[in-house]
Amino acid sequence: MTNLYSSTHPKSLAIADLGCSSGPNTRLASPEYQVFLNDLPGNDFNTIFRSLPGFQERMKKQLEGGTGPLFFTGVPGSFYGRLFPTNSLHFVYSSYSLQWLSKVPNGLEGNKGNIYMAGGSPPSVLKAYYDQFQRDFSSFLTCRSEELVTGCRMALAILGRRSQDPSSKECCYIWELLAMAVKEMCMRAVAEPLLIGHFGFGEAIIDDVFRRYKAIIADRMGKGKTEFVNVVVAMTKKG
Ligand SMILES: C[S@@+](CC[C@H](N)C(=O)[O-])C[C@H]1O[C@@H](n2cnc3c(N)ncnc32)[C@H](O)[C@@H]1O
């Protein structure tokens, strides 16, 4: 950031956090700063805005001599389209957001029973995800190259994998956990009326059955490997 400022000398440094979410990791620690917090329009921007005074206080304490004024702006919209005027940003940052595709890929019909790339997914399904990511990432890079000032930078933190296998547990584990939760809900929707109808089980017993089921899942998850591979890419816009 220091290098960027001393090489470009902007009146104010414009920073964008793309896919900021609404949690505590949201703000990027960073003379005069203009910080744009972007996420999809449905994001809970109120939670971020409410947390800003506390964040600014902490920044003042952490940075000896303080910092120049910080101006925050919420930017609702998809980072797969243009979000900012041409040549207006000095630094773009995005962490753990680019694994969200712009849409569910076409051609997932053969992915029976899965909500992600699983071991048993046919090659056509893996290709459908790959092609969608390529289209989305190209749109992302095209838009950011128009928005960044020449010589300025972008850092992306992305969930990655060491394995050659696109459906490896390394990157698909979080989706496996989500799929378990969905399956649990589906099972409950189907099984509950059957159990009550056939065996006369009351609500309390059904709840107990599903509490046990949750414990079994928690036990399996505890034994699984929960290490994630992070890929960090830093880029500079050439003239
Ligand atoms: C896992 S959170 C990352 C939060 C934060 N950046 C962090 O590192 O803790 C991913 C965020 O990306 C947002 N997101 C997904 N697709 C997006 C898109 N097309 N445009 C903008 N934000 C998007 C989601 O709404 C979500 O808040």
Q: Is 62 in the pocket of ligand 1 (CB under 6 A)?
A: no
Q: How far apart are CA 239 and CA 31, in angstroms?
A: 25
Per-run averaged pLDDT (10 residues), the chain, 239 residues? 74 90 54 93 94 87 75 97 97 94 91 80 91 97 97 93 79 65 67 68 67 69 71 92
Pocket flag, ligand 1, residue 136 (CB < 6 Å): no
Pocket lining: 34 vs ligand 1, CB cutoff 6 Å: no
Contact 15, 30 (CB under 8 A): yes
For residues 117 and 14, what is the distance between their CA atoms, to the nearest angstrom?
A: 37
Tokens 């120049």 belong to residue: 68
Distance 147 CA to ligand 1 centre (A): 19
* Gap between the Cα atoms of 206 and 189, Å rounded: 11
pLDDT, position 27: 43
Q: With a 6 A CB cut-off, is 20 part of the ligand 1 pocket?
A: yes
Q: What is the pLDDT of residues 22-46, one digit of tens each?
A: 765 444 444 788 999 999 999 999 9
Of 98, 112, 82, which Cα lies nearest the Cα of 179? 112
> Is 132 near ligand 1, meaning CB less than 6 Å away?
no
Nearest alpha-carbon partner for 129 in 166, 170, 159: 166
Pairing of strands 33-39, 229-236: unpaired
SS3 133: helix
Whether the CB-CB separation of 232 and 157 falls below 8 Å is answered with yes
Give the closest residue (by CA) to ligand 1 atom 18: 78
> Is any ligand 1 atom within 6 A of the Cβ of residue 97?
yes
Pick the atom of ligand 1 nearest to 80's CA.
19
Between CA 114 and CA 196 the distance in angstroms is: 28
Q: Choose among 2, 36, 15, 48: nearest CA to 155.
A: 15
Q: What letter would DSSP give residue 137?
A: H
The CB of 105 under 6 Å from ligand 1? The reply is no
Q: What is the pLDDT of residue 232?
A: 95
Distance 45 CA to ligand 1 centre (A): 12
